[in-house]
Amino acid sequence: MEDLAKLYKIRFSDRERIQKDRVWKVLCEDYFQQFVDESSTVLELASGYGEFIRHISAARKIAVDLNPDSGACLRGDVEFHLGSATDLSMLADNSVDVCFSSNFFEHLPSKEVMDQVLSEAARVLKPEGIYLAMQPNLRCEPGRYWDYYDHVLPLTHLSCREAFAKAGFDVTHLVDRFIPFSTDSKLPQHPLLVKMYLRIPLLWRLLGGQFVIIGRKSVKAA
């Protein structure tokens, strides 16, 4: 856990964290909120500095992360749990409407561990609840994908879809190219320019390096 905190302090300066937060505010308000009802319970796995969970509107917000610094970045309306996404025993079965993660699966040590994460997410999700994820796409950025010291698990949008299906999710939404590979890529950084980018899917095809996937927990899996 201490190594994780150290790595993220090296990777993101205070200035970069502030800029990243501004981008995420727009991503939540102008894109991800359409999939999240404001009356819902939302769980973010590997919440990091909380850019998503702080900016999404929901009745109950829960964050889980291995980094001990993560909790200090969250407001009082977010319940923080320090620990692994493979163990969500603090949450009851069928108690969450939306599970979210961003740039998380590639850090997992194996496909078996990813299966455990998806299994735990499916357990806590309500029937027809969704797992919404955004991930760097190895197919789009085969070189840069490995420029990060903690990237381990190779995933494309198609292999991730298979993992979701294997875990019992019905994949209802899959965008192979969404935003650029990272916030230091070619994505315009000013909030107004980010808003414009989100409204022009043609730009996603040109600049996108991350994919978005939504898996819905089937009633049969409940």
Q: Helix, strand or coil for residue 61? A: strand
Q: What is the pLDDT along the chain (222 residues), one digit of tens a residue?
A: 545 445 555 455 566 667 889 999 999 999 999 999 999 999 999 999 999 999 999 999 999 999 888 998 898 999 999 999 999 999 999 999 999 999 999 999 999 999 999 999 999 999 999 999 999 999 999 999 999 889 999 999 999 999 999 999 999 999 999 999 876 555 567 889 999 999 999 999 999 999 999 999 987 755
Rounded CA-CA distance 174/172 in Å is 7
pTM: 0.90
25-84 pLDDT tens trace: 999 999 999 999 999 999 999 999 999 999 999 999 999 999 888 998 898 999 999 999
Where exactly are the structural domains of the chain?
2-221
Q: How high is the mean pLDDT of the chain?
A: 91
Could you name the CATH architecture of 2-221? 3-Layer(aba) Sandwich (3.40)
Rounded CA-CA distance 214/192 in Å is 26
C-alpha neighbours within 13 Å on the C-beta side of residue 30? 17
